[in-house]
Amino acid sequence: MSYTLLPGTRAPVRVWTDPATIEDQAAQQLRNIGTLPWVEGVAVMPDVHYGMGATVGSVIAMRQALAPAAVGVDIGCGMSAVRTSLVASDLPDDLGKLRRAIESTIPVGFNAHDDPVNPHRIHGLPTAGWDTFWAGFRTLSADVGGLETRATRQLGSLGGGNHFIEVCVEQGGLDAGRVWLMLHSGSRNIGKELAERHIAVARKLPHNASLPDRDLAVFVADTPEMDAYRHDLTWAQQYAARNRAVMLALLCRVLRDAVPRVRYDEPISCHHNYVASETYGGVELLVTRKGAIRAGRGELGIIPGSMGTGSYIVRGLGNDDAYNSASHGAGRRMSRTKAKKTFTVRDLKAQTAGVECRKDAGVVDEIPGAYKDLNTVIAEQSDLVKVVAHLKQVVCVKG
């Protein structure tokens, strides 16, 4: 489909779903964003839903300004996936054992590694730039200095919420049955701490005093506050990317221990909460993607569903109207609180039938029924991406 313009905004807000299906809170957020004087345009993805300040599933292009809430608190959150040489029949018969091996190797939830990861001791993990990267921690906002030990131990850990690790099987096509590994995580606690500090600073700046929503507070170019935020943001995005790289290398090792003959293709990786400087119409813009991936022409991306519905590998079509973007997933159709009130553990077991995963009250808020229909979300962005592969999980690890 093509986009629809959301009425009542100064800058164009282009929507890749039926505007009538957008919850009222999210629609008002989008209108608030569209009134900001710095905003060049907004692209709204079909997985759009309410978020703090800026809507999840929004791509916001600004001139000489940047709203930290338009990135979110999990800076650099994103996906990684790798295709293996295996087919489904090569997997161990006991997928529960495989899941337990993953959970014992990669810390989940609030857990962390006992000792910091040594990149030189993990097979398949690129080792370039690690010392320079960690040295950068000491240049971050001064009041996060006491978090370094925690940050080093959390690198290579999953976290909780909608973060996951999966073993998937490709559906249909010439590669039907091919096994993939996939994971979703971000910058862990250090990204959250940095984001919250900078959002608090932005709220207090005089030029943000009359905004329709104080959570949309912006930094403007050529100011110390903007420079400090972009410095910390860049580091946190690197942390998130390295976090996923460590986990993917560890995950590959777990599968190799189970099936020694496995081989791996080049991994695919993409942020979906981040900032990039990009040029459209000859104008350099700061583009924030909050719950959206870059989908430039030919670029590979990952669009996951829920813990029972699978995911898609896609190739970008390079649509400038969407600022070369696509959705980051199916998107929630109800809050976690509502999901817990609506569904039971019995529902969770039914909706995740055939998937080796947690099936307890602690993950009911992640039940497939709490998310939008992934196939509909994919269909609504047919002018943004082309499907390369449809994957269905057989193992899902949640925090």
The string of pLDDT tens digits covering residues 171-230 is: 998 899 999 999 999 999 999 999 999 999 999 999 999 998 888 999 999 999 999 999
Residues whose CB falls within 8 Å of the CB of residue 168, separated by 6 or more in sequence, listed in order: 179, 180, 181, 182, 310, 311, 391, 392, 393, 394
**In the prediction, which pLDDT does 370 show?**
96
**Annotated catalytic sites, by residue?**
328
119 pLDDT above the threshold of 80:
yes
Mean pLDDT of 306-328: 97
DSSP state of 162: T
Mean pLDDT of 132-149: 94
- Which structure tokens are listed for 286? 């700061």
316 or 8: which carries more pLDDT confidence?
A: 316
Provide the mean pLDDT of the chain.
Answer: 96
**In the prediction, which pLDDT does 2 show?**
86
Q: Report d(CA 73, CA 43) in Å as an integer.
A: 20
Q: Report d(CA 356, CA 396) in Å as an integer.
A: 6
53 pLDDT above the threshold of 90:
no
52 pLDDT above the threshold of 90:
no
- Which structure tokens are listed for 99? 């899941």
Stated pTM of the model: 0.96
77 pLDDT above the threshold of 90:
yes
**In the prediction, which pLDDT does 399 show?**
83
**In the prediction, which pLDDT does 364 show?**
97
**In the prediction, which pLDDT does 1 show?**
62
Residue of 213, 86, 93, 106 lying closest to 156 (CA atoms): 106
Place of tokens 């073993």: 167
DSSP state of 358: -
pLDDT-above-70 percentage for the chain: 100
122 pLDDT above the threshold of 80:
yes
pLDDT-above-90 percentage for the chain: 95
Question: Is 160 buried (19+), middle (13-18) or exposed (0-12) by CB count in 10 A?
Answer: middle
241 pLDDT above the threshold of 70:
yes
239 pLDDT above the threshold of 80:
yes
Q: How many residues does the chain have?
A: 399
